[in-house]
Amino acid sequence: MRKYLLIVPEATAPAGLIGETLIGEGAIYDAVMPVERHASHAPFNYPGIPNQVADYAGLIVLGGPMSANETDKHPFLAETMSLIQEFAAADRPVLGICLGAQIIARAFGGEVYRMDRLESGFYTMNVTPEGQSDPVFAALGDQVTSFQNHFEAVRDIPGAVPLATGGACPIQAFRIGRATYATQFHPEVTIDIVRDWIRKFGTAFTNDEPRLLTDLDRQFRENFARHRTQCQLLVRNWMVLSKVP
């Protein structure tokens, strides 16, 4: 049975639909929560961010409210960058979501920058020509619909292949090498996850995007089915990249 490692920087940003898909495909995963100092496989003895690939088939780094540039404030960010490099060097697949994508960008020499405003809500983005021939993104079609929630974005990543674009930032998804993938959008979210964000972070989100309060139910009603299907396709195709039995 394949086992994956998940880094979860924020308790209200769990694996969601990504975890559901992993389990549905017969895999299991360990979740490490560096801010809360908890790990699903060692709840009473927090092991920290692993520094080796071990027997994991792949690595997933999820989202959080901090900036990937805040390595002095959050040491786990630099530790996660090193772990991403270890997985890439071992040719094991990596998937970064939002903050996770920004950590990947930093790990490979790219820039993480502050946007003019929060980008939040469902957006439909264009899959690039490179994405339409990519082993993970090709199955998504010409467009991908998913939920956004970020103040920062990425650019100038050496060797990165752009896979999706649109919305408020030019790079919505990218690949580095054979099997390191990153999405600025959140394929994992459910409406309950977003409601938890609103409860915890409140006006930090809703001042810039009041529709999170007034329009959230409609957005999920109209977009969730496609969002979930595309998440499942993305994760299944990413899992195929693993060479671990």
Q: Which residues are catalytic?
A: 98, 186, 188
- How far apart are alpha carbons 64 and 61 in whole angstroms? 10
- How far apart are alpha carbons 186 and 121 in whole angstroms? 10
- How far apart are alpha carbons 184 and 154 in whole angstroms? 9
Residue bearing tokens 């999820």:
62
- What amino acid is encoded at 153 in this protein? A
- How far apart are alpha carbons 218 and 235 in whole angstroms? 26
- Is residue 3 within 8 Å of 41, Cβ to Cβ? no
Record the tokens describing residue 207, joined without a space. 């001042």
Categorise residue 236: left if φ over 0, alpha if ψ from -120 to 50, beta otherwise: alpha
Q: Which one, of 65, 62, 38, lies nearest residue 49 by Cα?
A: 38
- Is residue 104 within 8 Å of 209, Cβ to Cβ? no
CA torsion 70→235→187→115, rounded to 10°?
40
DSSP state of 7: E
